[in-house]
Structure 1
């Protein structure tokens, strides 16, 4: 895992591309019902305002989409044992 590319700072730079004169701040943070951590980043610049949510995945990466929820699964080995 490339920790530099999975950091929140890197993702904010990648998606919002702030200029030195922009005001970038954490607008909100917390946990969703399933325990997933999120951070809302707000960027204000001369030509407008943008906000993005970033979600922390189980592997430590920050992404702009939430992690897929875990669903029950059964391996082929367990299927053969059930018969």
Structure 2
């Protein structure tokens, strides 16, 4: 469960505002090379078809932007 409260349902409601007359549906589910999840959801609106990709972050939240890639890091420990 998301610790931030940003579930996929919450994100779809926020960005697509589906209604019973114009429901949203998942049209694609994928995983990236780093085993990150993304989902494409689309809804028909009066202005036309709207498709948005949602990305799952390490904290369990879903956002419209992909999570930052983990970069290599070096550290040095000073011994006395």
Query: Normalised by the size of structure 1, how large is the TM-score?
Result: 0.80
> How many residue pairs were aligned?
77
> Following TM superposition, by how much is the alpha carbon of 1:79 offset from its aligned partner in structure 2, in angstroms?
5.3
Matching residue of 1:45: 45
Matching residue of 1:17: 17
Mapped contact 1:57–1:67 kept (Cα < 8 A): yes
For residue 34 of structure 1, give the secondary structure of its aligned residue in structure 2: coil
Structure ranking higher in helix proportion = 1
Mapped contact 1:23–1:45 kept (Cα < 8 A): no
Question: Greater RCO between the two (CA within 8 Å, min separation 6)?
Answer: 2
Query: Normalised by the size of structure 2, how large is the TM-score?
Result: 0.83
